[in-house]
Amino acid sequence: MEKDIQKKKTLTLSMPALVEGGYNADIPQAPARVSVLDRWMARKLMDLLGDPPLSFVLWNIEEISSSAAKPMARVHFHDSEALHHLLINPALHFGDLYSVGRIEIEGELVRFLETAYRAAASSPKYRKLKKAQTRLFNRPRLNRPADSRDNIHHHYDIGNDFYERWLDREAMQYTCAYFPSPDLTLEQAQRAKMDHICRKLQLKPGDRVVEAGGGWGGFARHMAKNYGARVRSYNISRQQVLYARARSVADGLERNVEYVEEDYRKMTGEYDVFVSVGMLEHVGRSHYRELGDVIHRCLAPHGRGLIHSIGRNKHEPMNAWIEKRIFPGAYPPTLREMMDIFETHEFSVLDVENLRLHYAKTLERWLARFERHAKDIEASYDSAFTRAWRLYLAGSIAGFTTGSLQLFQIVFSHGTNNDVPWSRAHLYRDS
Amino acid sequence: MEKDIQKKKTLTLSMPALVEGGYNADIPQAPARVSVLDRWMARKLMDLLGDPPLSFVLWNIEEISSSAAKPMARVHFHDSEALHHLLINPALHFGDLYSVGRIEIEGELVRFLETAYRAAASSPKYRKLKKAQTRLFNRPRLNRPADSRDNIHHHYDIGNDFYERWLDREAMQYTCAYFPSPDLTLEQAQRAKMDHICRKLQLKPGDRVVEAGGGWGGFARHMAKNYGARVRSYNISRQQVLYARARSVADGLERNVEYVEEDYRKMTGEYDVFVSVGMLEHVGRSHYRELGDVIHRCLAPHGRGLIHSIGRNKHEPMNAWIEKRIFPGAYPPTLREMMDIFETHEFSVLDVENLRLHYAKTLERWLARFERHAKDIEASYDSAFTRAWRLYLAGSIAGFTTGSLQLFQIVFSHGTNNDVPWSRAHLYRDS
């Protein structure tokens, strides 16, 4: 197995890390006995989570249930070490143990995660433990320019074809869609999201647009093609930039869209519009003022700006497993924290919209497509990679539906600019 | 003159304070001579303001002009002391000196103030002076319950008939109106504002609403009459509560609207909706967490909340003159500061709308009506009172048009509540 992992090192993100962390996908040949200590630990874990409607099935099929209602999911532990690890740091170890199959969920994964999140959020004991663990173990990756390159490479350069399997085919939007009506397809909802942002920015032909963190370039192409904008899009993911350039050539848009493989801190020029969709999560809290400086430098006096980012209602460290295995250096800020971007240069915040439930719906669509391709993904990568991504997508749904994650779209302008939309009615007029 | 002031003590707000502060409305019989020092001071003041397109006319008709463009207004100083006072603390003394007529503006007052505000805001010297003055002299009034009563009495209990002269007649809304179309009348725009808020709150028949700071009760009546809500409205201004009760009896609404003469901190009960329009400015920064506690205690799990408040792009102390003479204890917070209300209990901010330019338009309408009644107001109160209020209204317009003031409407819910509007499209559908 380990040879296999080495071979796939550039493509998989979970397995090398898991092995590094001391895990092994093979379930240990532990004795089937459940000790008094094991039982005590299982009860302790249940208690820590605030006694949610779940049950734990131990490796000898013994079941430890919540005293509350009928369990809505069963957590199967394949060995005693898995239970011990989970008790030490549930937020971190659950992801790894689930990925390698040493923990299995019987029941609907998203519903299970929602139940666990809600229970943990309202359990004072769990909150206390999490605080202590954060203090002791939380060492999020930094986001100086060189770190950012590593962090972004880790997530976005694992293969464009992987993302193509479950994102929308048209624009490869790896950010929250907007569903004016909940029954739209993913493609329609991503298009609606892009149009919603363009309307918020009152985008018009000839506008000079700068984009920070352009992903696979779909939004830049959308602005150029449908609004006549001239777009310069910055991104430090090499694979994404190569993909974006190829697509813009194929679409005959290369005169209006320029993809720059460079850090947002290196932006130059003056623009009518600044836009950033889903990059702020990777900027890192200590760099928000720098981002504000960049915007101040590049945005024309009459310019409009929009930042779209995952956020929180209250400061909380990033989920340890996601930060470690999926998104190194990522952090969803509170509105208070985001104000670091805007206050120094007295930008005026014009409009904030919270699209939390739209992100849950977007993720549901992604997860459904992911599941349709799960076998292929497993064949191309491996089982632990596939399970890790399933958990990450399902856990993100649960984060948005239980209110631990938010999605903020913030429109802003220079504080002295009176050339701003008079109201928001134009966003909702049929085009 | 002083006897006159004593007589009017309960009604006027400016004159007793002015006399207390050492001012005198009578222009001193100063020698008409302009000294070298006076001239130096006038130049210094011009320089401090960053050389705006203004000119200063001294008491001997000598004119000191900006080196910049043609002056767009002239500031007439009637005596040398007025000039000296102004140089010491422009933000504080300008208001007093203008009120008693020792400074006159030749030209349009609002345009003059906009020019001065813009110039001061971009003058590093002025910013430095203001910072020092704030540190030395700024002692804003506190807002413990007893202080709040005094502060609110100072502003809101100066006579309902005074406010009736220039606010909208229907609902006596002393807060920013909403102009879906800029040519609405004040009455239409205040109605549109109330409907906009009710739509944001998805108000429906039978909803239990609690209002913090209900003014003359017009919004509570609107919610009861047009949406079938049952409203309890808290206010500590005695005159406003008496007025509100009389109007609700006259309208036959006393079964659905209850006006409570009590501090917001004393709220009890559970409600589907919490709403506060224009009270936060009087709450005081150190009490935002307390306000959050009150909302947390009173808002049902599925409840919706809205706070409407003047705000800032960046922390800045209240204008010293306004705080001293017009609105003791008032402070317009930044969005960052407002987050103190929401974060402790993990409320989810769903929607923020900045209606800054709508407040400028509202104030223009108020000022126009005020001017139509200026003679009556002067007869009932006095000249200094009238001039102080003219300056306050004109200065507020300039604050909103130059971007030093914002108007935020914030919609929120408990963080765990998924029963929130799916989008904002319903706000803009024709009813």
pLDDT digits (tens, 9 = 90+) for B46-93: 999 989 999 999 999 999 998 777 899 999 999 999 999 999 888 889
Q: Do B354 and A353 touch (CB under 8 A)?
A: no
Report chain A residues whose CB lies below 8 A from the CB of B110.
none
β A299-311/A271-277 pair status: parallel
DSSP B358-381: HHHHHHHHHHHHHHHTHHHHHHHS
Report chain A residues whose CB lies below 8 A from the CB of B334.
339, 343
The answer on A180 and A34 residing in a single domain is no
| pLDDT-derived band at B381, boundaries 50, 70, 90 | very high
The yes-or-no verdict on residue A421 having pLDDT over 60 is: yes
Q: Do B336 and A334 touch (CB under 8 A)?
A: no
Q: Which of A137, A160, A181 is the last residue of a domain?
A: A137
Question: Cα–Cα distance between B278 and B272 in angstroms, integer?
Answer: 20
B343 vs A: CB within 8 A: yes
Facing B415 at nearest CB: one of A403, A417, A424: A403
B184 vs A: CB within 8 A: no
Q: Which residue has the higher pLDDT, A94 or A145?
A: A94
Q: Do B353 and A424 touch (CB under 8 A)?
A: yes
The answer on B356 and B224 residing in a single domain is yes
Which range in A155-169, B25-39, B64-78, B215-229 is most confidently predicted, on average pLDDT? B215-229
Q: What percent of chain B has pLDDT over 70?
A: 92
Closest approach of chain A CAs to the CA of B415, in angstroms? 5
Q: Do B335 and A349 touch (CB under 8 A)?
A: yes
B421 vs A: CB within 8 A: no
Q: Do B350 and A349 touch (CB under 8 A)?
A: no
The answer on B230 and B119 residing in a single domain is no
Q: Do B315 and A343 touch (CB under 8 A)?
A: yes
> Chain A: residue nearest B424 by CA?
A428
The answer on A379 and A245 residing in a single domain is yes
The answer on A110 and A257 residing in a single domain is no
pLDDT for the residue numbered A28 = 55
The yes-or-no verdict on residue B108 having pLDDT over 50 is: yes
Classified as helix, coil or strand, B416 is: coil
pLDDT per residue as tens digits for the range B234-263 = 999 999 999 999 999 999 999 999 999 999
Report chain B residues whose CB lies below 8 A from the CB of A417.
403
Bridge partners, A208 (sequence order)? A230
- Tally of CA atoms within 13 A in the half-sphere of A201 that contains its CB: 32
Facing A348 at nearest CB: one of B313, B343, B415: B313
Q: Are A410 and A338 in contact (CB under 8 A)?
A: yes
Question: Cα–Cα distance between B32 and A164 in angstroms, integer?
Answer: 83
Q: Are B31 and B60 in contact (CB under 8 A)?
A: no
What total of structural domains would you count in chain A? 2
H or E segment and range at residue A387: helix A383-401
The yes-or-no verdict on residue A278 having pLDDT over 90 is: yes
Closest approach of chain B CAs to the CA of A261, in angstroms? 33
A206 vs B: CB within 8 A: no
pLDDT for the residue numbered A24 = 53
Q: Do B351 and A354 touch (CB under 8 A)?
A: yes
Does the structure's ipTM exceed the value 0.85?
yes
Angle (nearest 5°) at CA A39 between A104 and A398: 35
Neighbouring residues of A153: CB distance < 8 A, sequence distance ≥ 6: A237, A238
Q: Which of B116, B137, B158 is the last residue of a domain?
A: B137
The yes-or-no verdict on residue A396 having pLDDT over 60 is: yes
The yes-or-no verdict on residue B216 having pLDDT over 60 is: yes
CATH number at A207 reads 3.40.50.150
B418 vs A: CB within 8 A: yes
B423 vs A: CB within 8 A: yes
Q: Do A416 and B427 touch (CB under 8 A)?
A: no
Residue range A294-307: mean pLDDT, rounded: 98
Q: Which stretch of A145-154, A349-358, A405-414, B191-200 has the lowest confidence by average pLDDT?
A: A145-154
Residue range A341-369: mean pLDDT, rounded: 98
The answer on A334 and A194 residing in a single domain is yes
The yes-or-no verdict on residue A114 having pLDDT over 70 is: yes
CATH number at B65 reads 3.30.1050
H or E segment and range at residue B164: helix B160-164
* Inter-chain Cβ pairs, chain A and chain B, closer than 8 A: 117
Q: Are A399 and A369 in contact (CB under 8 A)?
A: no
Report chain A residues whose CB lies below 8 A from the CB of B351.
352-354
Q: Do A336 and B334 touch (CB under 8 A)?
A: no
Q: Which residue has the higher pLDDT, A137 or A294?
A: A294
The answer on B157 and B74 residing in a single domain is no
Facing A343 at nearest CB: one of B118, B182, B336: B336
pLDDT for the residue numbered B143 = 82
Facing B343 at nearest CB: one of A336, A342, A427: A336
Which residue range is the domain that position A43 belongs to?
A: 2-137
The answer on A132 and A159 residing in a single domain is no
Q: N- to C-terminal Cα distance for chain A?
A: 56
Mutate to test the interface with A, among B178, B181, B352 (most CBs of A within 10 A): B352
The answer on A337 and A211 residing in a single domain is yes
> Chain A: residue nearest B404 by CA?
A415
The yes-or-no verdict on residue B152 having pLDDT over 60 is: yes
B226: left (phi over 0), alpha (psi -120 to 50) or beta: alpha
Q: Do A401 and B418 touch (CB under 8 A)?
A: yes
> Chain B: residue nearest A114 by CA?
B416
Scanning A66-125 for CB atoms below 8 A from B yields 118, 121
pLDDT for the residue numbered B3 = 36
Q: Do A313 and B427 touch (CB under 8 A)?
A: no
Output the average pLDDT for chain B.
90
Angle (nearest 5°) at CA B305 between B299 and B306: 150
B233 vs A: CB within 8 A: no
A262 vs B: CB within 8 A: no
B213: left (phi over 0), alpha (psi -120 to 50) or beta: left
Q: What percent of chain B has pLDDT over 90?
A: 76
The answer on A226 and A110 residing in a single domain is no
The answer on A370 and A303 residing in a single domain is yes
B427 vs A: CB within 8 A: yes
Structure tokens at B276: 């506060």
Neighbouring residues of B136: CB distance < 8 A, sequence distance ≥ 6: none
pLDDT for the residue numbered A157 = 77
Q: Which of B80, B115, B137 is the last residue of a domain?
A: B137
The yes-or-no verdict on residue A10 having pLDDT over 80 is: no
Helices then strands, each counted (H, E), chain A: 18, 11
Output the average pLDDT for chain A.
90
Classified as helix, coil or strand, B279 is: coil
Report chain A residues whose CB lies below 8 A from the CB of B121.
416
A184 vs B: CB within 8 A: no
Q: Is A173 exposed, middle or buried (0-12, 13-18, 19+ CB in 10 A)?
A: buried
Closest approach of chain B CAs to the CA of A148, in angstroms? 27
Facing B423 at nearest CB: one of A118, A180, A401: A180
- Which own/partner contact pairs does B140-143 have at CB distance under 8 Å and 24+ positions apart? B140/B284, B140/B317, B140/B318, B140/B323, B140/B328, B140/B329, B140/B331, B141/B323, B141/B328, B141/B329, B142/B284, B142/B329, B143/B282, B143/B283, B143/B284, B143/B286, B143/B287, B143/B329
Report chain B residues whose CB lies below 8 A from the CB of A313.
342-343, 346-349, 415
The answer on B171 and B83 residing in a single domain is no
Could you tell me the strand order of the sheet in which B63-65 lies? Answer: B63-65, B55-57, B74-77, B103-106
pLDDT per residue as tens digits for the range B315-354 = 998 888 998 888 888 899 999 999 999 999 999 999 999 9
